């Protein structure tokens, strides 16, 4: 044994050198984290983006047969208070007649069938329909109360949607998407 060996080194106990290695490593880790944090923090969405995460829409002025288009997350959203006739026409459509049998409603099960009720605001509010206003073919904005089925028509490539926003004819592969939304009162819809 040399004169520089201590009892703690031979027994495997921590030494002053071990302590210095540990504290130097911890200081380096803290320094690296403080250097990297601004780069990580800049990837978070800013306040204006978070504010657009949800919007409240007052629909008290929409009588049956009227529509409103609002902007949410940079996309148009169609809100329509359908007439009883429009609701009945949409309910009468057989699922086998649909080009896309999936509801595409973010508020219900992803595999739900595209019945009129599954596309609408639900029981007691079947007259209300809320959809993202982008044609599922190439993202054009369809015209309301137009086309062969009285719903929406995309003049760019000829896609026809019915009064429940389901694709019925043309190149579009899917129904208009229904975003997450809820009636927070009888006259206010929160989208997002």
- Predicted local confidence at residue 33, as pLDDT: 82
- Asked whether the beta carbons of 159 and 135 are under 8 A apart, the reply is yes
Residue 139: per-residue pLDDT: 85
Q: Which of 173, 170, 172, 191 is nearest to 181 (CA)?
A: 191
**Domain definitions of the chain by residue range:** 7-41, 50-191
Quote the pLDDT of residue 9.
Answer: 55
Among 35-39, 126-130, 141-145, the minimum mean pLDDT is found in 35-39
Q: Which of 4, 137, 157, 160 is catalytic?
A: 157
Give the per-residue pLDDT at 30: 87
- pLDDT band of residue 50 (cuts 50, 70, 90) is low
Per the CB < 8 A criterion, the answer to whether 182 and 190 are in contact is: yes
Q: What is the pLDDT of residue 160?
A: 95
- What tens digit of pLDDT does each residue of 133-189 get? 999 998 889 999 998 999 999 998 899 999 999 999 999 999 999 999 999 999 999
With b for 16 or more beta-carbon neighbours within 10 A and e for fewer, the 85-119 pattern comes to ebbebbeebeeeebbbeebbbeeeeeebebbbbbb
Determine the 3-state secondary structure of 52 from DSSP.
Answer: coil
pLDDT in tens, 60-118: 999 999 999 999 988 999 999 999 999 999 999 999 999 999 999 999 999 999 999 99
- Lookup: tokens for 129: 């329909």
Longest dimension (CA), the chain: 101
| Catalytic annotation present for 157 | yes
Q: List, in sequence order, every beta strand (DSSP E) within the chain.
A: 55-58, 66-72, 75-81, 128-132, 143-144, 150-154, 159-162, 167-169, 181-183, 188-191
Nearest Cα to Cα of residue 120 among 161, 57, 165? 165
Q: How far is CA 18 from CA 10, 21, 24, 92, 140, in A?
A: 14, 5, 10, 79, 66
Q: Which residue has the higher pLDDT, 64 or 50?
A: 64
pTM for the structure as a whole: 0.72
One CATH from 3.90.1150.10, 3.30.1490.20, 2.60.120.10, 2.102.10.10 for 50-191: 2.102.10.10
Distance of CA 87 to the CA centre of its chain: 25
């Amino acid at each position: 044994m040399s004169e520089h060996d201590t009892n703690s080194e031979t027994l495997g106990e921590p030494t002053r050198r071990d302590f210095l290695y540990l504290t130097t490593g911890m200081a380096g880790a803290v320094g690296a984290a403080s250097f990297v944090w601004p780069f990580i923090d800049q990837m978070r969405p800013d306040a204006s983006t978070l504010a657009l995460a949800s919007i409240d829409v007052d629909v008290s002025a929409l009588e049956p047969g009227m529509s409103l288009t609002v902007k949410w997350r940079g996309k148009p959203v169609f809100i329509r208070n359908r007439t009883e006739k429009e609701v009945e026409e949409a309910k009468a459509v057989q699922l086998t007649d649909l080009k896309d049998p999936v509801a595409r409603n973010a508020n219900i099960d992803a595999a739900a069938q595209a019945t009129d009720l599954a596309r609408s605001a639900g029981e007691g509010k079947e007259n209300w329909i809320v959809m993202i206003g982008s044609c599922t073919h190439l993202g054009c904005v369809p015209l309301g109360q137009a086309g062969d089925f009285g719903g929406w028509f995309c003049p760019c490539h000829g896609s026809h949607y019915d009064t429940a926003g389901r694709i019925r004819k043309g190149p579009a592969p899917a129904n208009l998407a229904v975003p997450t939304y809820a009636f927070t009162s009888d006259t206010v819809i929160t989208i997002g």
